[in-house]
């Protein structure tokens, strides 16, 4: 297995199917145990997003960079990208969407999760912090995750806003597998992936990659 290709979303050799989602083969056992425990606690554990390859992440990135898809700030306000220069655009996008080649969703060990039975019939899933906070439909599920994730080898890499990626209470990561792949998601490997593919703002990204890497890619909530 070429770990550099896997880590940057350029290979699917590490994946297997888990209820129609691509997941890393080494997390299946722990993920299944977590879902079963959640079910016993009264939550219908579901994945909203699992593995995303480089091409899919690039599509998300490119449509946001050219303002075909909305970008929001921490307060939920739409960002007027036309008023920003290229590096400001990159920083605005990376608040909620990873740079292609640098997404943790490339790993197959990271998942956006929710409790399907807690979502009101009239409400669509948004994956926004308020849904997981007190008064939100997934508040109890979120509390259960915080209390039990580590029992099954998972943690939340974006549990708190630390000046990089916004808080994402729905994003869980398998600690052992993700830690292994993080070592291969280096500046050098990300650079190679960007150079070889069509990514909007590529030159600006490459010029600022060391600072973007430190602020948005390695800046996670480290599990205890």
Q: What digits encode the pLDDT tens for the residues 50-78?
A: 999 999 999 999 999 999 999 999 999 99
pLDDT over threshold 80, residue 26: yes
Residue 90 and residue 196: Cα distance in Å, rounded?
Answer: 19
pLDDT over threshold 80, residue 223: no
pLDDT over threshold 80, residue 104: yes
> What topology does CATH give the domain 3-217?
Muramoyl-pentapeptide Carboxypeptidase; domain 2 (3.30.1380)
Q: What digits encode the pLDDT tens for the residues 76-93?
A: 999 999 999 999 999 999
- Find, among 174, 54, 64, 175, the residue nearest to 113 by Cα: 174
Span of 43-52, 121-130, 205-214 with lowest mean pLDDT: 121-130
Q: Name the burial class of residue 105, with classes exposed (0-12), middle (13-18) and buried (19+) by CB atoms within 10 angstroms of its CB.
A: buried
* DSSP at 117: G
- Find, among 60, 96, 99, 52, the residue nearest to 193 by Cα: 99
Show me where the domains of the chain are located.
Answer: 3-217
Structure tokens at 9: 């979303």
């Amino acid at each position: 297995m070429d770990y550099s290709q896997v880590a940057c979303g350029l290979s699917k050799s590490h994946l297997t199917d888990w209820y129609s989602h691509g997941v890393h083969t080494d997390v299946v056992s722990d993920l299944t145990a977590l879902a079963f425990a959640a079910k016993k606690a009264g939550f219908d554990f579901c994945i909203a997003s699992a593995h995303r390859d480089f091409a899919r992440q690039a599509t998300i990135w490119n449509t946001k960079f050219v303002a075909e898809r909305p970008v929001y700030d921490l307060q939920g306000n739409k960002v007027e990208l036309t008023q920003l220069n290229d590096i400001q655009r990159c920083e605005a996008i990376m608040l909620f969407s990873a740079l292609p080649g640098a997404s943790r969703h490339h790993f197959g060990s990271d998942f956006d999760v929710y409790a399907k039975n807690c979502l009101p019939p009239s409400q669509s899933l948004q994956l926004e912090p308020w849904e997981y906070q007190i008064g939100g439909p997934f508040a109890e599920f979120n509390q259960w995750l915080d209390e039990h994730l580590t029992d099954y080898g998972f943690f939340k890499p974006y549990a708190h806003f630390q000046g990089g990626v916004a808080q994402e209470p729905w994003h869980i990561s398998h600690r052992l597998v993700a830690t292994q792949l993080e070592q291969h998601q280096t500046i050098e490997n990300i650079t190679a992936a960007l150079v070889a593919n069509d990514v909007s703002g590529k030159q600006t990204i490459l010029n600022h990659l060391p600072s973007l890497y430190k602020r948005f890619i390695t800046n996670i909530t480290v599990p205890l």
